[in-house]
Amino acid sequence: MPELPEVHTTVTMLHKKIRNKTIKDIWSDYDSSCYVGKENIKDISYFKKFKKEIIGNKILKVVRRAKNVLIYLSSGKIILIHMKMTGHLLYGNYSYNKNKNIWKADELGPLQDSLNQFVHFVITFSDNTHLVLSDMRKFATVSLFQSEIILKEKLSSFGVEPLEKSFDWKTYKSRLSKYPKQKIKTILMNQNLVVGIGNIYSDEILWTSHINPLRLVESITDNEYKLLTKHTKEILAKGINFGGDSMSDYRNPDGLPGEFQLHHNVYRRTNQKCKRKGCNGTIQRTILNGRGAHYCNVCQK
C-alpha cells in the first residue's frame, strides 16, 4: 500500500499537472454489490450522481491528508481517492477501446508499463488529457464530499502528520503511549495516532533508531522517542526525495517507479548482513498482526 512518501509524490506531481483543468467526462467500470448504498463509486447509483456533480468543474488544487489524495473542485466539493494496496494515479493521453472496454495510453513508454494497465477510473479533461486510476486488485476507493467541513469530519479520526513542524518527540510519545502494551512496530502503523507510516517505513525508522520492533511501547525511553522523531522525519523525507518506494506496485503519475527500494537498510533483506557499520548482525523477519517485521538481531535492542 502506498505510504506517505508515495502519496506525497503523487499529489505533488498531480497538482502541477491537472490544476486549472476542467473536467469534461468521467468513466468507471467499478461495480461491486458489497458497496451498494455506500458513498463510493463502486456503487453504480452513487457513481451516476458523482459523475453528474463533478463534470464541468475546474481543478483548484490537489493535496494530501494521511494516505488520501484530495482533489478540490471549483464548486467547493472535494474528490477523495485512497489508492489502497495496488492503486496508483496516472496522467497522460489515453484512448478507450469500446469493444474491449479498456483504456490504454496513446504513447509508448512508462504509462504502458504492465503494472499501469489495470485502469478502472478515468477523468477526461477539456484538453483531452486524462487522469486514470490503475488498480490491479480493485481495492481503491473514490468518493465525493460536498464541502471541506464534511471532509474534515470524515478525516477527524486520523492522527497527526509527522512532517509538520509542530510534530515533536513529546507529541510522538503522547500519541503512541495510548497503547503501552502493544508492540512498537504495530503502533507506528496505527493511522489513528500518526499518519502515513506503513510496513516499509516503520521497519526503516526502527532500524535507524536501533529499536527492536517487538518491544512494547511502554519500554520506549524519552531519548528513544527523540531518535524516533528525528528518524521518522528523515526517513519519510528520504522516501519523498527518492520519489517513493516501488518494491511492489507503486508508480508515479508519469508511470515511473520510485527509487527508495534501492536504499533499504532492513525491509525485505531477510538473512542478509546488517548494513550498520561495525555490526555483525543478520536481518531477521517475523510476523506481527499479519504483517512482516524486519530487524537486525544484534543492533536493534
- Residues annotated catalytic, as ranges: 2-3, 67, 291
Instruction: Report whether 126 contacts 24 (CB < 8 A).
Output: yes
**CA torsion, ordered 119, 121, 127, 128, to nearest 10 deg:** 50
C-alpha cell at 38: 455506500
Half-sphere exposure of 195 (CA within 13 A, CB side): 18
Q: Which residues contact 135 (CB under 8 A, 6 or more apart)?
A: 83, 84, 86, 87, 88, 118, 120, 121
* Bridge partner list, 82: 68, 141
Instruction: Report whether 232 contacts 197 (CB < 8 A).
Output: yes
Report CA-CA distances (Å) from 141 to 28, 94, 249.
Answer: 12, 21, 17
Pairing of the two strands 68-73 and 59-65: antiparallel
- Residue tagged 523477519 (cell numbers): 285
Q: Which residues contact 101 (CB under 8 A, 6 or more apart)?
A: 29
Residue type, 37: G
Rounded CA-CA distance 241/167 in Å is: 20
Other beta carbons within 10 Å of 216: 13
